[in-house]
Structure 1
């Protein structure tokens, strides 16, 4: 049972890292290459789409890592899993405190109602997102290391 939990947790977190890495380093470049109005609308649509899915994914990742830490508390690598869970909790806190409020504003913007500083807000979100991706990569790495 513990082995299944370890694999499921690692796969779920790994897929989330892949999605967030894609947002940061692939989708950003694609959307930023579009004309300004299309770019902003693409960012808004992405915010609505991923904003509906990612909260569940983040909470599930934290719950799975916590379950692994508890179930495997007497096994080698538990410290790595606990640290990974801590990093995942930190990403949730960053999301709730900084990234989600910006996303909630930007996902409603159109060319008619976007604020003057929409690019600055987008850039702020992106900077925080890069930090979140780094933490997610760290958490995934720790989980993968705990498997061996």
Structure 2
């Protein structure tokens, strides 16, 4: 049963990493190449779509990793799993404090009501997102290492 939990958790976190990596290095580049109105509106739509899914995915992944750490407490690699949990906690805290506030503002903006500094806010979101992606890649790497 522990093996199934380990594999399911690793796959769930890995797919989350893939989605967030794609947002950072594929989707944002596509959206940023669009004309201004389309750029911001595309980011707002993506924020609404992923903003509904990602909180469940981040918290769910963290819960799975914590269950893995508890269930496998006396097994090889538990220190790596606990460290991965710490990184996922960091990613959730970063999201709540740094990324979600910008995303929540952006997803309500239209061409008529967006602030003058909207580009700077989106750029700030992207910079923090790169850091968050690095953090969750670290967590995923630790989980994979714990399997071996």
User: What TM-score do you get using the length of structure 1 for normalisation?
Assistant: 0.99
Identify the residue that residue 39 of structure 1 maps to in structure 2. Answer: 39
Partners of 1:147 and 1:117 lie apart in 2 by: 45
Identify the residue that residue 89 of structure 2 maps to in structure 1. Answer: 89
Partners of 2:28 and 2:91 lie apart in 1 by: 20
User: What TM-score do you get using the length of structure 2 for normalisation?
Assistant: 0.99
Identify the residue that residue 2 of structure 1 maps to in structure 2. Answer: 2
Cα RMSD for the two superposed structures: 0.4
Identify the residue that residue 111 of structure 1 maps to in structure 2. Answer: 111
What is the CA-CA distance between 1:129 and the residue it aligns to?
0.4
User: Unpaired runs of 5+ in structure 1?
Assistant: none
Identify the residue that residue 61 of structure 2 maps to in structure 1. Answer: 61
Q: Residue 137 of structure 1: SS of its match in structure 2?
A: helix
What is the CA-CA distance between 1:147 and the residue it aligns to?
0.4
What is the CA-CA distance between 1:77 and the residue it aligns to?
0.2
What is the CA-CA distance between 1:104 and the residue it aligns to?
0.3
Partners of 1:103 and 1:29 lie apart in 2 by: 17
Question: Over residues 86-132 of structure 1, what are the superposed CA-to-partner deviations in whole Å (9 max), with x where a residue is unaligned?
Answer: 00000000000110011000001111111000000001111100000
